[in-house]
Structure 1
Amino acid sequence: MTENAASAMDGMYRHQRYIYDLTRRYYLIGRDQMIADLDPPAGGTVLEIGCGTARNLLLAANRYPRANFYGLDVSEEMLKTARAAINRSGYKKTISLAQADATTFSPTDLFGLQNIDRIFISYALSMIPPWQAVVDRAVSQLSPTGELHIVDFGTMASMPTLGRRGMRAWLTRFSVTPRLDLETVVRDAARRHGRSATFRQGRFDYAALARIGAKLS
């Protein structure tokens, strides 16, 4: 992603960040299930790519009090909201944030970490044009036993035609594009890095949950 991409995201979220969580809670389905599946090791490291308002990081930190949490986002505007939310919480010492490009980020440069035990991406790939590069970069930064967890819009293939068309048209207004080949990209990335992969979609194929697991022995 470029500096122009960061500016575009800042422009989009400069005002939306105040109502983002309230307006997204009804259609960003599967986020809490993804968090429940993380199960990081005690003392492990967990990174969210595209952390936005820190909603997911705060829920994860509450669920896994023995892990350490990190978040990155290209939008400094969203990070303002995230920092404020974390400062109001009891997790100021547990969660660290940084502004970074998801296609080239370095845990070492940002947080002093060699690799990460769990990385998760929630409804961000559908907003990032070079999203395949984000998946590959994330996998490359995992520890040998680490996992990448993804939740995003699914294919919507089993939705009624009018509903599917209407939903996709509405998402386009917000620069959101469901990644119809997400499963293929996830499985290909896992294969390249010598890891396992799972993929499933929920009701009407509305939401997709993907996981790239530990290195295969």
Structure 2
Amino acid sequence: MTAAGSHAALMDGVYRRQRHIYDATRKYYLLGRDSMIAGLRAPDGGTVLELGCGTGRNLVLAARRYPKARFFGLDISTAMLETAARAVAQDGAGPRVKLAQGDATAFNAQALFGEAGFDRVFVSYSLSMIPGWEKTIAAALAVLKPGGSLHIVDFGRQERLPAWFKRLLRAWLAKFHVTPRDAMAEVLESESRKAHASLSFRSLFRGYAVHAVVTRPA
């Protein structure tokens, strides 16, 4: 089995049951998602891709907020995609949302979605679950249209939180195969330089989370 296939099987196993309660439980600690969606500012007629779309929760909210944009969701877990498809259909956003199964570290957007590039790409609390997550950042920047932007929210270093809280949080996250990416800022800086893109990087909630925006030149 390939590394991508192994990770897909792991994610299906982890979320086959959890997907049914995922959104109800995660809203208490996946902080910053809604403000990230608000900051997308998707243009009318634009295209928006979410990498690691999970249950479709973010895609549904983004489709409501930007009714004239088209949305695309990629996830490696077929179990999560089943839940996402139901969420999108129930919300009535189906005609504007296309979902596909794939590896966020290496995907062919044209083959999966019929789109060569996107005006916006966003990744919400998925990099901390993706082996080789650095490749996801590079892949996301590669499919951004000129003037487009990549938006990321995920766990931070918890640098301004009590040490005991950081230890407990990371031990608990590890049970769900989640690892905060402490090198996030450095990797984003490096990839932004390669793409000649600008980077905005903010630490949220005393380091609990981070919010980054990478913008390609027009």
TM-score (norm 1): 0.98
For each residue in 1:75-104, what CA deviation from the matched residue of structure 2 results, as whole angstroms up to 9, or x when unmatched? Answer: 000001001111111111011100011111
Q: Which amino acid aligns with 1:162?
A: W
Q: Which amino acid aligns with 2:216?
A: A
Cross-structure match for 2:73: 71
Shift >6 Å, 4+ stretches: none
Query: Is the CA contact (8 Å cut-off) linking 2:51 and 2:73 kept in structure 1?
Result: yes
Q: List alignment gaps of at least 5 residues for structure 2.
A: none
User: Partners in 2 of 1:3 and 1:165 — Cα distance?
Assistant: 31
User: Partners in 2 of 1:7 and 1:160 — Cα distance?
Assistant: 35
Q: List alignment gaps of at least 5 residues for structure 1.
A: none
Cross-structure match for 2:90: 88
Cross-structure match for 1:31: 33
Of 158, 162, 183, which aligns to 2:164? Answer: 162
Q: Aligned pair 1:209/2:211, yes or no?
A: yes
Q: Which amino acid aligns with 2:193?
A: R
How much does 1:157 deviate? 0.5
User: Partners in 1 of 2:156 and 2:115 — Cα distance?
Assistant: 32
Q: Aligned pair 1:111/2:135, yes or no?
A: no
Q: Give the number of aligned pairs.
A: 216
How much does 1:214 deviate? 2.1
How much does 1:215 deviate? 1.8
Q: CA RMSD, aligned part only?
A: 0.9
Instruction: Name the SS of the counterpart of 2:213 in structure 1.
Output: strand
TM-score (norm 2): 0.97
How does 1:1-217 map onto structure 2 within 5 Å? 1-215=3-217
How much does 1:185 deviate? 0.6
User: Partners in 2 of 1:110 and 1:48 — Cα distance?
Assistant: 13
Q: Which amino acid aligns with 2:118?
A: I
User: Partners in 2 of 1:2 and 1:54 — Cα distance?
Assistant: 21
